A and B are shown apart, each in its own frame.
Chain A
Amino acid sequence: MATPLVVFENVVKRFDEFVAVKRMNFEIREGEFLAFMGPSGCGKTTTLRMLAGLEQPTEGDIRLAGKSLLGVKPHERDTPMVWQSLALFPFLNARENVEFGLKMRGQDSTTRRKKAQDWLERLGIGEFAERDVNSLSGGQRQRVALARALVTEPKILLLDEPLSALDAHLVIRMQGVLTKLQRELGITFVYVTHSQSEAFAMADRVVIMSKGEISQIGSSRDIYRTPANRFVAEFVGRNNIFTGTVNATGAINTPAGSFEVDTKAEAGANVSFVVAADVVSLAVEKPKVRNVFTAQLISEEFVGSMVTLFLEAAGGMEVKLQIQERALEGLPREPGQQFFLSFDPAHAHVLKG
């Protein structure tokens, strides 16, 4: 697990004046499922394309299994990719699409045919082997694309927003297919997405990128609970960010109230901290705990058995609160209703910078 399969060393990518990737250093471990996530234009796709050899780094070095990839043509690398547009060859049927990589490696037609068929079976679309790829459904085409990339038994698979064109229910199904495959094959998956739910659901580690830089690398849990900076905290979305100044007693004065959090900042310093939406408690009567503040209910949103409440605290600050729908039974829930909110100081995470 610990051996780095890919190393990015001081990698910079510039397109004319535009800096797509700013001095990037990181490692991809062998056998891990790594997801790159960030808003469009953050450099995540460029990073993936550099790994595939479709872009050359302006500076720095990329090593795969210890060997530098500088100057290695895309077709000389073994870094198959699943494309956002799938990029299936429309003039070939499903099986011929899967055979393509094997054909390029000079394998004979009998072997090719068998391997391709095996992979299509494995992904549950064996019966469509002879079908025109244009006549297949989105999910089936997706599986053809996967089989085409995996048939050559690579050590690493690159995936560029492969699920973004699918319907919501298919996305969940394909997430299952992908995680299962990755575990069974034990190979490294490098997955680029702008979808937090995809990244958090599948990846062992998530890389959050912003403006060509890595903001944070860590497990989904780390990123959710302890965002490295304001950008990550905001990008992850289900966070409440409080900003204020440290007062004489060491508590932080914010527009929403004064809170005790674990910070070494001195009195007078500006501090931001994050409280995740699911660690905020709610009550109608004022509870006898620390860090209590009041807020009015604005609206609510159902996500399955969970409900997200949107409230407004003093100073116009919006507070998000995620809670089991059952826990709200019997509570008044009209908009404008005042609640007492609170959080444990241990659950507040102070942001750097």
Chain B
Amino acid sequence: MRDDTVLRWSLRVYTAVIFVFIFAPIAASLVFSFNSDRFPSIPLGTFTTQWYAKAFSNPEVWDAALRSVIVSVSSAVLATIIGFSAAYTDYRYEFFGKKAFLVLALLPPTIPLIIFALATLGWLSMFQASGMMISVIIAHTVLCAPFAMAVIRLRLNQMDPNLEPAAWNLGASEWVTMKSVVLPFTRPSIAAALCLTAAVSFDEFAVAWFVSGLNKTVPVMILEILTGNIDPQINAIGTAVFMVSITLVVIAQVLIMGRRPKPESA
């Protein structure tokens, strides 16, 4: 019994330490975003919202924010469509080279971002397609599709293999079945995939930095401000970005967790 208690508490402490480790920098950024001192130091100055006011009155920040929203929404939609198609292909069909198809489909996130970014830049430049907003959308779609696929695949794997045949059997063609059975069944995971991929795109810096050119997204703009000088505005913008992302991720998690199949009652 005592060993159990010791183990349980050490696990709790361990988990807490990890959370502190991950969230301390973000928390610090949050704290300093409301601090009146120009430099992040302790003891703190007085509480202020001036950095937020300053950031939000800057038209460049708004431009970048709008661009980030367009990029993340577009790439989330595209990545989810591609991810859904790939996941459904995996669920429904058996074919030669399916393993290779799956590996390739899930590959992009495993490539070091810098390599991925450079390659994308090189590739897009060949078509004179770099430095535009569409460039970032394309790059982010590629980067995000595997996440969408993974999330939707989880849900599809919970689907009774007889569910589609049951719909055909009742008079639904394959297309009607897709619309009236597969999509409703996977809807929570589709919504989760949209949120998750939007969050990934919204936060993503390396690829955006390489391919965005003058069409800066928020993370790129943050770096540019940072390289110029130390400006507490960054804390304000960073906190806002973090809030957007964490909200999306939490929604995605709730959607994924919330629809676990209920235990079959006999």
Closest 9 A/B residue pairs (Cβ): A104-B171, A87-B166, A101-B170, A87-B162, A74-B168, A138-B266, A91-B184, A134-B262, A75-B168
Say if the beta carbon of A235 comes within 8 Å of chain B. Answer: no
> What count of chain B residues pass the 8 Å CB interface test?
23
Number of interface residues of A (CB under 8 A): 32
- A83 in contact with B166 given A89-B181, A90-B185, A104-B176 (CB within 8 Å): yes
Using a CB–CB cutoff of 8 Å, the interface residues on chain B facing chain A are 160, 162-163, 165-174, 176, 180-181, 184-185, 187, 261-262, 265-266
Is B162 a contact of A148 with CB atoms below 8 Å? no
Asked if residues A80 and B169 are in contact (CB atoms below 8 Å), the reply is yes
Q: How far is the CB of B255 from chain A (nearest CB, A)?
A: 14
Q: Report yes or no: A81 in contact with B169, Cβ–Cβ below 8 A.
A: yes
A window 77-122: CB within 8 A of B: 79-81, 83-85, 87, 89-92, 100-101, 104-105
Which residues of A have CB within 8 Å of B166?
81, 83, 87, 89
Pairs A–B under 8 Å by Cβ, sample size 21: A52-B165, A52-B169, A75-B169, A75-B171, A75-B174, A75-B176, A79-B169, A81-B169, A83-B165, A83-B166, A89-B184, A89-B185, A90-B185, A91-B184, A91-B187, A134-B262, A136-B265, A137-B265, A137-B266, A165-B266, A167-B266
A→B interface (CB under 8 Å): 52-54, 73-75, 79-81, 83-85, 87, 89-92, 100-101, 104-105, 134-138, 148-149, 152, 165-167
Q: Name the residue on A nearest B177 (C-beta).
A: A75
Known: A85-B160, A87-B163. A101 touches B171 (CB 8 A): yes
Q: How far is the CA of A264 from the CA of B69 in the complex (A)?
A: 90
Partner of B167, one of A79, A100, A105, A138: A100
Q: Are A91 and B168 in contact (CB under 8 A)?
A: no
Given A81-B166, A89-B163, A104 contacting B172 (CB threshold 8 A): yes
Min C-beta distance of B162 to chain A, whole Å? 4
Question: What is the CA–CA distance of A74 and B171 in the complex, to the nearest angstrom?
Answer: 7
- Given A84-B162, A137-B266, 4 more pairs with CB closer than 8 A: A54-B168, A75-B172, A87-B162, A91-B184
Taking the nearest CB of chain B, how far is it from the CB of A330, in angstroms? Answer: 43
The CA-CA distance from A138 to B180 in the complex, in Å, is 24
In the assembly, what is the distance between CA of A137 and CA of B181, in Å?
22
Q: Distance (Å) between the CB of B223 and the closest chain A CB?
A: 44
| Contact partners of A84 in chain B: CB under 8 A | 162
From B165, B176, B180, A87 is in contact (CB under 8 Å) with B165
Smallest CB separation, B180 vs chain A (Å) = 8
- Docked Cα-Cα span, A25 to B266, in Å, equals 38
Q: Do B173 and A73 touch across chains, with their CB atoms under 8 A apart? A: yes
A74 CA / B176 CA spacing, docked (Å): 13
Chain B's closest residue to A54 (CB) is B165
Q: How far is the CA of A136 from the CA of B184 in the complex (A)?
A: 20
Contacts of A149 in B (CB 8 A): 170
Q: Which residues from chain A contact B266 at a C-beta distance below 8 Å? A: 137-138, 165-167
A74 and B165 contacting across the interface, CB-CB below 8 Å? yes
Interface centre among A73, A85, A167 (most CB of B within 10 A): A85
Contact A87–B160 (Cβ < 8 Å): yes
Given A90-B261, A91-B185, A165-B266, also A105-B165 (CB < 8 A): no
Q: How far is the CB of A172 from chain B (nearest CB, A)?
A: 15
B265 with A138: CB separation less than 8 A: yes
- Complex-state Cα separation, A84 to B160, whole angstroms: 11
Which partner residue on chain B sits nearest A52 by CB separation?
B169
Chain A residues with Cβ below 8 Å from B169 are: 52, 54, 74-75, 79-81
Complex contacts, A152 vs chain B, CB 8 Å:
170-171
Q: Quick one: which of B170, B171, B184, B262 has the most chain A CB within 10 A?
A: B170
Closest approach, in angstroms, between the C-beta of A192 and any C-beta of chain B?
14
Min distance, Cβ B109 to any Cβ of chain A, angstroms? 30
Shortest CB distance B152–A (Å): 15
Q: How far, in Å, is A101 (CB) from chain B's closest CB? A: 4
Q: For residue B169, which residue of chain A has the nearest CB? A: A81
- Chain B: which residue is nearest A132 at the CB level? B262
**Which of A89, A134, A137 has its CB near the most chain B CB atoms (within 10 A)?**
A89
Bound complex: CA A81 to CA B160 (Å): 15
CB distance from B254 to the nearest CB of A (A): 18
The residues of B that contact A136 with a CB separation of less than 8 Å are: 265
Nearest-CB residue, chain A, relative to B163: A87
Report the Cα distance A136→B266, complex, angstroms.
Answer: 9
Q: Kindly name the residue among B160, B166, B167, B262 whose own CB sees the greatest number of chain A CB atoms within 10 A.
A: B166
